[in-house]
Amino acid sequence: MNMITIDWGRLVNDGRAKAVGVPWSDEEWDAVINKHIPAEYVREGCLTLAAYEETKKENEQYEKSTGDKPLYLLSKGELQIRAKELGIAHTDAATKEVLKDLIEKEIRKQERATAKAAKIDALKDIEKLSEDEDVEDGVAITS
């Protein structure tokens, strides 16, 4: 028996599927094929030329202010580099979508750790103040 297998990773990379195991809806397919909106933008919800142009401008402003492109616009090679920089182990079999998701999770994890460290530092500052002076509800009371 001949079995046909679908290479979803290739279909996604070529813009012929929304995600691994997920085909485009009719509206999304129309945006990709007939309106010629890049698949990366359709995956982000841009189904009209107006939405695409607006998002493109926002991305250009983001790039000017941060020096980075949004993750969904990076190539697989660029995502692999970013993943490696963040210490994310992966193989070449990882798709762009998988790499993007892993990078986003790692960034959120690092942001939470940074926020937690800032809270701990703030509490230490309050404790130090309370040792030096009378403190009520986090506000130093002077006589």
Residue 28 counted as domain residue: yes
- The answer to the question of residue 77 being in a domain is yes
Using DSSP's 3-state secondary structure scheme, residue 70 falls into coil
Query: End-to-end alpha-carbon separation of the chain, Å?
Result: 90
Residue-range definition of the domain harbouring residue 102:
8-141
1 belongs to a structural domain: no
State mean pLDDT over 51-60: 97
pLDDT over 70 at 141, yes or no:
no
Residue 78 lies in a domain: yes
What pLDDT, in 10s, does the model give residues 8-51?
888 988 889 998 899 999 999 999 999 999 999 999 999 999 99
Q: Which of 31-35, 79-83, 89-93, 122-126 has the lowest mean pLDDT?
A: 122-126
Q: How confident is the model at residue 135 (pLDDT cuts 50, 70, 90)?
A: low
Tally Cβ neighbours within 10 Å of residue 28: 19
Q: How confident is the model at residue 133 (pLDDT cuts 50, 70, 90)?
A: low
Question: How confident is the model at residue 123, as a pLDDT?
Answer: 86
Q: CA–CA distance from 61 to each of 53, 58, 65, 80, 98 (Å)?
A: 13, 5, 6, 24, 26
Whether residue 103 contacts residue 83, with contact meaning beta carbons closer than 8 Å, is answered with yes
- Is the residue at 75 inside a domain? yes
More confident residue, 23 or 124: 23
The pLDDT value given to residue 63: 94
Mean pLDDT of 84-96: 93
Residue 3 falls inside a structural domain: no
Number of domains in the chain: 1
Q: How confident is the model at residue 93 (pLDDT cuts 50, 70, 90)?
A: confident
2 in a domain, yes or no?
A: no
| CA dihedral (105, 110, 114, 119) positive or negative | positive
pLDDT at 143 over 80: no
